[in-house]
Amino acid sequence: MSLFTFKGGIHPPYEKELAKGSPIQTAGLPKSLTIPLVQHIGAPCAPVVEAGDVVKKGQLLGKGESFVSAPVHASASGKVKRIEKSLHPLGQPVLSVVLEPDGNEETAYMTPMGGDPGTLDPEAVKARVKDAGIVGLGGATFPAHVKFSPPKDKPIDTFILNGCECEPYLTADHRTMLERTDDMLLGAKMIGRILNVRRIIVAVENNKKDAIETCKKSAHAEGVEFSVTATKYPQGGEKMLIKAVLGREVPSGGLPMDVGVVVSNVGTAVAVCEAVRDGKPLIERVLTVTGNAAKSPGNWLVKIGTPIGEVVEQAGGTTGTVGKLIIGGPMMGIAQSSFEVPVIKGTSGILLLREEAYMKEGYLPCIKCSFCVQVCPTRLLPSRLSVLAEAEAWEKMEEYGVNDCIECGSCAYVCPSKRPIVQLVKAAKIKVREIKKRENA
Amino acid sequence: MGKEQSAMVLSISPHIKSKESVRRIMLSVIITLLPAVGYSIYQFGLHALFMYCISVATCLVSEWVVVRLRKRPFSLRDGSAIVTGILLAMVLPPKFPLYGVVLGAVVAIVIGKQIFGGVGYNIFNPALIGRAFLAATYPVFISSYVQPRMALDAVSQATPLAAMKFEGVMTSYRALFLGGTGGSLGETSALFLLVGAVYLLVKKYIKWRIPLSIFLTVAVLGEIFHLINPAKYPDPLFHLFAGGLMIGALYMATDMVTSPITKRGSVIFGCGIGVLVVFIRLLGGLPEGVMYAILFMNAFVPLINRATKPKIFGTGGRDER
Ligand code: SF4
Ligand code: SF4
């Protein structure tokens, strides 16, 4: 079988064995939930509850006025203790609703719409996706309804369900594909209904043999196509996946819809299915607790707002000195300073890495080995970018495509000089944006 | 849980790194050079051993002093100074005076490398800068060669290239390949150099397009000249195995720091060197041109990199990095 893939990329140690065999377990109710009012890319939500209010599970807590925004809901029934700024995995403190669960788990879901995609009204489904607060669960957290609303002049012909999960260590999507196959495919068909596409394709990396077998049969029965891609990082990057599966190249600075494609993560499809069929908003998600400092790695269904520390403890705690606590995977995840940050919609994993010497090592000048050039999936010159960033030549960096960088980290992974290329690129992107703003002002 | 974990590292992604390091690359280069080094010591005796030791020691000391003076954090641990030291000795004639070796090594490190800012910043191959300096300072020493212990050919003291150029005498392939000819310490055995380089090629520590395009260019051009006048010009095989071509193409031109970072750039760079080598050898005033060809092309690397900048994903171009 020939595999679909793209040029460039890397083969880091995948370490999926740690957690891939353990079925999804449901995490218990924590003492307190901290539910941030921003868990998506876009305008923040304003709270619609007040301290002292008693809420039901699934009740709306906050919503935004703007179209590019996703409402947040209570992930348990209980009492609103406070609404205050608190720690957020993305760094900046964010206004959050602190909820004390009462343990009754009384629900206030939306009206179920039925589970037959063929009879559903696409507009109503789209509205439901919005009301349920669904965002891209792969980690990008872009509001799903926005993604499902391409402008009229960008017809969409293909919907790709992204089950690549190319980030090392993480296995949440893998387990979802195995255990929630039918809901996932139903969700995919609902999304297909909204987008009115001809083709729905499930894409899975060939290192998930069991998931491929399970999904393939069901997919074919449902009239959904299936595509096995090579195991290579970042195969799950939207642009790389579209290139691999359809051979189309998303234009520089463009979006998948520019080539008639929408890509969503498998978890997102399950969330859509639950929201439409059961009326359940996005209040919990599957994530992987893993790493060599995790005592018993596994996959957990966790309520949004649960402090990371509680999840880790329920999952057996840590072993050895934790050198790094990472939200997400090792390639693109974000290192945290505290176990108090809450699980949010975009939390695909909690990665605990043992302290090791390399974490504190410095870096050397670029020795022009060109390793980074060969692996960059967007064909940039990462070495050049990093040198230009050190020289603060921001304008020049724009010319060298800094904004095309998907921050996948492949370059920094292979760099023998251990240069912090992604860090430099991130800083440069902010600078470039500032300069643009000043010019336009 | 919580507060006590304040020591957790907060660096930006990626949080895992490959095992590659500058030190590892340099160590691999050193190890793969050892067969050729050992063979040259066997062939040329103790003086060769002294030359290696002194060259490496001087490189290390000069590097240490300069790094100290510039108050730079880089240590000697990356091993690049050792590589420069070995390579410098390898491109010097077997009986080169030791004080000359010291001088060449100092120039290689100080002028060839540190003036530009140290490892990674230099434009020219440091070992070749050292040798070029010695060639200008000691023109007599640099061109006096002795026969190796196991001379496989009856040719005089001269190197095969000089013999070809000035006396019209050819050296046998067997001698060239196995290393029984006159020449610099490291350039006499193509076989040992090739064996070492294969490992580096597999590890991707050398950009294979560079040696390959050098070899192809030299072979094709050599063949053309040979066809025009077989009596005067040697055939391509002679070109490939004689003189500094092997060590130059495999170990000098492929120096990461001073070669292009793109694939197309590597081909242009290699072809450029190949053309220059043949022209200098056959039409120029010198018997050997590998060193100057590489140094000359080193100067064009920034330009080549700029000219071969790959088309970014999604801009309509083909993948030709
Ligand atoms: S430059 Fe950007 S896109 Fe290219 S490898 Fe590095 S992080 Fe990935
Ligand atoms: S991998 Fe690192 S050392 Fe090599 S060219 Fe890229 S930035 Fe430079």
Q: What is the ipTM of this complex?
A: 0.89
Distance CA A393, CA A402 (A): 11
What pLDDT, on the 0 to 100 scale, is given for residue B181? 62
* Nearest CA distance, A238 vs chain B (angstrom): 13
Distance CA A236, CA B217 (A): 41
Please give the single-letter amino acid code of residue A117. P
Distance CA B285, CA B279 (A): 10
Q: Is B156's pLDDT higher than 50?
A: no
Q: Is residue B12 part of a domain?
A: no
Model confidence at A1, pLDDT cuts 50, 70, 90, reads very low
Q: Is residue B233 part of a domain?
A: yes
pLDDT (tens digit per residue) in B108-150: 999 999 888 888 889 999 999 999 999 888 887 777 666 665 5
The number of CA neighbours under 13 Å toward the Cβ of A410 is 27
A158-163 and A72-73 strand pairing: unpaired
When pLDDT is averaged across residues A242-255 and rounded to a whole number, the result is 93
Q: Is B308's pLDDT higher than 60?
A: yes
Q: What are the boundaries of each domain within chain A?
A: 112-278, 371-440
Q: Which two tokens stand for residue B172?
A: 């046998």
Q: In this complex, do B15 and A413 lie within 8 Å of one another by their Cβ atoms?
A: no
Greatest distance between any 2 Cα atoms in chain A: 61
B138 and B213: one domain? no
- Residues of chain B in contact with residue A338, where contact means CB-CB under 8 angstroms, are 2, 5
Residue nearest to atom 2 of ligand 1 (CA): A405
Q: Among A10, A370, A380, A381, say which to mutate for ligand 2: greatest number of ligand atoms within 8 Å of CB.
A: A370
First to last CA, chain A: 55
Cα(B291) to centroid(ligand 2), Å: 26
A322-327 and A94-101 strand pairing: unpaired
pTM, entire model: 0.91
B186 and B249: one domain? yes
Q: In this complex, do B321 and A379 lie within 8 Å of one another by their Cβ atoms?
A: yes
Nearest ligand to the C-alpha atom of residue A376: 1
- Residues of chain A in contact with residue B253, where contact means CB-CB under 8 angstroms, are none
Report whether A230 contacts A8 (CB < 8 A).
Answer: no
- Residues of chain B in contact with residue A324, where contact means CB-CB under 8 angstroms, are 8-9, 15
φ, ψ of residue A143 to 5 degrees: the values are -55, 130
Q: Is B179's pLDDT higher than 60?
A: no
What pLDDT, on the 0 to 100 scale, is given for residue B158? 58
Nearest ligand to the C-alpha atom of residue A373: 2
- Residues of chain B in contact with residue A366, where contact means CB-CB under 8 angstroms, are 120
Q: Is A3's pLDDT higher than 90?
A: no
Share of chain A above pLDDT 90, in %: 84
Q: How many CB pairs under 8 A join A and B?
A: 178
CA A425 to chain centre: 21
pLDDT (tens digit per residue) in B66-101: 888 887 766 667 889 999 999 999 999 888 899 999
Q: Among A372, A404, A421, say which to mutate for ligand 1: greatest number of ligand atoms within 8 Å of CB.
A: A421
Instruction: State how far the alpha carbon of B32 is from the alpha carbons of A44, B179, B197, B210, B220, in Å.
Output: 59, 17, 7, 18, 28
Burial of B52 (0-12, 13-18, 19+ CB in 10 A): buried
pLDDT (tens digit per residue) in A332-361: 999 999 999 999 999 999 999 998 888 888
Type and span of the H or E element at B88? helix B80-90
* Nearest CA distance, B258 vs chain A (angstrom): 8
Q: Is residue B232 part of a domain?
A: yes
Residue A319's region, left for phi above 0, alpha for psi from -120 to 50, else beta, is beta
* Among candidate residues B107, B142, B177, the one where a domain is terminated: B142
What pLDDT, on the 0 to 100 scale, is given for residue A118? 84
Model confidence at B3, pLDDT cuts 50, 70, 90, reads very low
B164 and B267: one domain? yes
When pLDDT is averaged across residues B29-49 and rounded to a whole number, the result is 91
Residue nearest to atom 3 of ligand 2 (CA): A366
Q: Is A303's pLDDT higher than 70?
A: yes
First to last CA, chain B: 48
Share of chain A above pLDDT 70, in %: 100
Report whether B194 contacts B206 (CB < 8 A).
Answer: no
When pLDDT is averaged across residues A161-177 and rounded to a whole number, the result is 95
Please give the single-letter amino acid code of residue A128. R
Name the one residue in this structure whose structure tokens are 């934790």: A322
Q: In this complex, do B119 and A412 lie within 8 Å of one another by their Cβ atoms?
A: no
Q: Is residue B60 part of a domain?
A: yes
What pLDDT, on the 0 to 100 scale, is given for residue B68? 85
Residue A237 DSSP one-character state: S
Range of the domain at B182: 160-306
SS3 of residue B129 by DSSP: helix
Q: 10 Å Cβ neighbour count for A221?
A: 10
Q: Is residue B251 part of a domain?
A: yes
B90 and B175: one domain? no
Q: What is the tally of structural domains in chain B?
A: 2
- Residues of chain B in contact with residue A397, where contact means CB-CB under 8 angstroms, are none
Q: Is B180's pLDDT higher than 70?
A: no
Instruction: State how far the alpha carbon of A137 is from the alpha carbons of A9, A270, B138, in Å.
Output: 23, 10, 70
Residue B109 DSSP one-character state: H
When pLDDT is averaged across residues A299-328 and rounded to a whole number, the result is 94
What pLDDT, on the 0 to 100 scale, is given for residue B182? 64
Report whether A294 contacts A133 (CB < 8 A).
Answer: no
B134 and B181: one domain? no
What pLDDT, on the 0 to 100 scale, is given for residue B260? 96
Q: Is residue B321 part of a domain?
A: no
B219 and B103: one domain? no
Q: Is A365 in the pocket of ligand 2 (CB under 6 A)?
A: no
B187 and B238: one domain? yes
> Which residue of chain A has the CA closest to B308?
A381
The CATH-assigned architecture of domain A112-278 is 3-Layer(aba) Sandwich (3.40)
* Among candidate residues B142, B170, B191, the one where a domain is terminated: B142
B192 and B251: one domain? yes
Q: Which residues are paired to A163 by β-bridges?
A: A204
What pLDDT, on the 0 to 100 scale, is given for residue B1? 44
> Which residue of chain B has the CA closest to A317?
B1
Q: Is residue B96 part of a domain?
A: yes
Q: Which residues are paired to A47 by β-bridges?
A: A62
Q: Is B151's pLDDT higher than 70?
A: no
Q: Is A59 in the pocket of ligand 2 (CB under 6 A)?
A: no
pLDDT (tens digit per residue) in B255-305: 999 999 999 999 999 999 999 999 988 887 676 789 999 999 999 999 999
Nearest ligand to the C-alpha atom of residue B78: 2
- Residues of chain A in contact with residue B73, where contact means CB-CB under 8 angstroms, are 362
What pLDDT, on the 0 to 100 scale, is given for residue B157? 52
Q: Is residue B17 part of a domain?
A: no
Q: Name B118's Cβ contacts closer than 8 Å, sequence gap at least 6.
A: A365, B66, B67, B70, B72, B74
Q: 10 Å Cβ neighbour count for A2?
A: 6
Q: Among A364, A371, A413, say which to mutate for ligand 2: greatest number of ligand atoms within 8 Å of CB.
A: A371
When pLDDT is averaged across residues A256-263 and rounded to a whole number, the result is 95
> Which residue of chain A has the CA closest to B75?
A364
B268 and B135: one domain? no
Q: In this complex, do A339 and B2 lie within 8 Å of one another by their Cβ atoms?
A: yes
Nearest to B18 among A254, A325, A414 (CB): A414
Nearest to B312 among A313, A365, A378 (CB): A378
